[in-house]
Amino acid sequence: MPLLEVQGVSKSFSGIVALKDVELHLEEGEILGLVGPNGAGKSTLINIISGIYRPDRGRVTFMDRDITGMPPHRICSLGITRTFQNVETFPELTAIENVLIGALFGSGKASMHEAHERALEVLRFVGFPLDRLEERVKNLNVGELKKLQLARALATRPKLLLLDEVTTGLNPRESKDAVKMIRKIRDSGVTILMVEHIMRIIMGVSDRIVVLNYGEKIAEGTPGEVAGDERVVESYLGEAYSVEG
Ligand SMILES: Nc1ncnc2c1ncn2[C@@H]1O[C@H](COP(=O)(O)OP(=O)(O)OP(=O)(O)O)[C@@H](O)[C@H]1O
Ligand SMILES: [Mg+2]
């Protein structure tokens, strides 16, 4: 039984088809890369799985339970956490306070003391600079913000983590570190659905890849299989990418 199953999901926004009959599944412990050009529907799919949007048609099943249309906080408490393409935090709160919020919600509800311990643990895990814990979030740089967002997500103790473009805005060195971090998170027992529009990054880290184009799934397979797929190459208009991360 897959951990997550998306069946026949469609979504339109005032006539614009964002997703059309999308099928996708995730096995426990894998990193699934969801890739596609701008506007392909990647974020919309994350928004549907995490409960931000309700699909027009289709079903989302998590651990054998129908979660279609459930509110985001319930989905989070069942063990699905997501990050946002545009880092969303509480700008006036400090770094540690932002992660505390994650620790106090989510699937592993905690007391204030436990939440604090857990917040520190995940901040260390993602390599957030510990001398910046009391800094207000609005003063953090992009790299620090991305780590903070990951820490806040992990503090909810997810079974499934949905990552929407975690490497966007990072320099090549930071991107490499982020990819290492994603593997480390998976190795700690979290299943990952990772969205990227840069093919090269997703190729190096994913066990399996699903490609969306104009809201439709056009390919699915190992990085090697997908890299050789004619429709994928076409949808990227010959953009160069390689299997090596
Ligand atoms: N809330 C919304 N209202 C109206 N249109 C939307 C909304 N969300 C998404 N869309 C449209 O749905 C389509 C898919 O958008 P989506 O953000 O899912 O793409 P994406 O693959 O994440 O793209 P990107 O790589 O640019 O992040 C686009 O045409 C987009 O304009
Ligand atoms: Mg997007």
Nearest to 31 by CA among 152, 203, 174, 149: 203
178 lies in some domain? no
Residue 243: the pLDDT is 45
- What value, to the nearest 5°, has the Cα angle with vertex 31 and ends 7 and 47? 45
40 lies in some domain? no
134 lies in some domain? yes
110 lies in some domain? yes
Closest ligand 1 atom, residue 36 Cα: 21
Q: How many domains is the chain partitioned into structurally? A: 1
Distance 98 CA to ligand 2 centre (A): 23
Residue 208 CA to residue 14 CA, distance in Å, equals: 32
pTM: 0.92
Residue 236: the pLDDT is 74
Residue 59 CA to residue 55 CA, distance in Å, equals: 8
The answer to whether 60 and 66 have CB atoms below 8 angstroms apart is yes
52 lies in some domain? no
Residue 72 token pair = 């985001």
Residue 37, classed as helix, strand or coil, is coil
Reading phi first (left if > 0) and then psi (alpha if -120 to 50, else beta), residue 165 is in: left
159: Cβ contacts below 8 Å, ≥ 6 apart: 3, 28, 63, 79, 80, 107, 190, 191
Which-ligand-closest: CA of 163?
2
Question: Exposed, middle or buried, 17 (CB in 10 Å: 0-12/13-18/19+)?
Answer: middle
Full residue range of the structural domain in which residue 101 is found: 82-156
Residue 100 CA to residue 67 CA, distance in Å, equals: 26
Ligand 1 pocket: which of 19, 42, 47, 49 to mutate (most atoms within 8 A of CB): 42
**Hey, how many other C-beta atoms are within 10 angstroms of the C-beta on 233?**
16
Report the residue count for the chain. Answer: 245
Beta strands in the chain (DSSP E): 4-13, 16-26, 31-35, 57-62, 65-66, 80-82, 160-164, 191-196, 208-213, 216-221
Distance 163 CA to ligand 1 centre (A): 16
* Spans in the chain with pLDDT lower than 70: 106-109, 237-245
222 lies in some domain? no
Look up tokens 């701008």; give the residue: 38
Residue 87: the pLDDT is 73
Q: What is the pLDDT of residues 52-103, one digit of tens each?
A: 999 999 999 999 999 999 999 999 999 999 988 777 778 889 999 999 988 8
Residue 88: the pLDDT is 72
184 lies in some domain? no
Residue 160 CA to residue 61 CA, distance in Å, equals: 12
Residue 11 CA to residue 19 CA, distance in Å, equals: 5
